[in-house]
Amino acid sequence: MLETLHAEKHQIDKNAPWLILLHGLFGSLDNLAVVKRHFASSYNILNIDLPDHGGSLKLDHFSFKLWVDLLASTLTAHQIETCYVLGHSLGGKLAMQLALAMPDRVKGLIVADIAPVRYPPRHRQVFQGLNNVELTQITTRKAAEKQLAVYIPEVGVRQFLLKSLVQDDDKRWQWRFNLQNLIAHYDDICDWPASQQSYLGPTLFIKGALSDYLTLKHQTQVLQYFPNSSAKVLQGAGHWLHAEKPQAFNRSVEHFLEQQV
């Protein structure tokens, strides 16, 4: 049996529907805490660290199939047969891949600001910034931010990345995500494996109006793989729409789920 992913489980009732939360690249399950809190009174929730992120296992290779298998193994370990799945960015890609591979397990799908397409590399400067942080030399988080700033001018991006900078038991600084494996397989992470499958279940794509991750040019691919899908645009929100517009985001998800349950 495959290993399982690190997750926080919140179960209110054995008969309540399950909602699975999947964060994005460089993040951890904490990123979707605002979503978890909103739905915790009406849904069983499994908030998961992606492979190579947070407390989940670190790998030396990558494939979406492997990630789907690990996710499915995690659901099985928690005795979750069917569920709704919400994924943001890279987590959205994984959610879509799960729905295509195992449609009987996914009752409904919410995809936050990502499309089923191959993306051009967007994170080269982020990787340069992360590699510029001398983990064996820094003594404070502030020092790490200063080194990140050489390549990453956006304060918000630096603060987001620094959430994953931690000290181990010996007070050594380290990234919680598996930086070297993410770099080695970044081209594969950007990719979208072609498939003849489609997911016929209800699907909601939520787009940040200020983001270019999900646009009209992606509509053909979206409908190819997810013909029973609808879209919601959050005005004033960028790619981190769940953090920038949490109330509007949660309302959109809630409205979608209420139509299914």
Q: Quick: pLDDT tens for 66-104.
A: 999 999 999 999 999 999 999 999 999 999 999 999 999
Q: Which of 89, 164, 211, 252 is catalytic?
A: 89
167/140 Cα distance (integer angstroms): 10
Q: Are 25 and 90 in contact (CB under 8 A)?
A: yes
Whole-number pLDDT of residue 183: 97
Beta bridge partners of 109: 85, 203
Whole-number pLDDT of residue 211: 96
34/61 Cα distance (integer angstroms): 31
Catalytic annotation present for 89? yes
Cβ contacts of residue 166 below 8 Å, gap of 6+? 173, 174, 175, 176
- Cα–Cα distances in Å, from 74 out to 1, 81, 149, 215, 251? 10, 11, 37, 32, 28
Q: Are 18 and 80 in contact (CB under 8 A)?
A: yes
Is this structure's pTM higher than 0.75? yes
Q: Are 126 and 62 in contact (CB under 8 A)?
A: no
Pairing of strands 106-112, 203-208: parallel
Whole-number pLDDT of residue 235: 97
Q: Which of 53, 123, 185, 239 is catalytic?
A: 239
pLDDT block averages, 10 residues each, the chain of length 261: 90 96 97 97 98 96 96 97 98 98 98 98 96 95 96 95 93 96 97 94 98 95 98 96 97 96 68
Q: List, by residue range, all CATH 3.40.50.1820 domains of the chain.
A: 7-118+191-260
Q: What is the residue-averaged pLDDT of the chain?
A: 96
pLDDT in tens, 117-137: 999 999 999 999 999 999 999
**Backbone angle region of 226, left / alpha / beta, with phi > 0 → left and psi within -120 to 50 → alpha:** beta
Whole-number pLDDT of residue 1: 59
The CATH number of the structural domain formed by 7-118+191-260 is 3.40.50.1820
Catalytic annotation present for 239? yes
Whole-number pLDDT of residue 74: 98
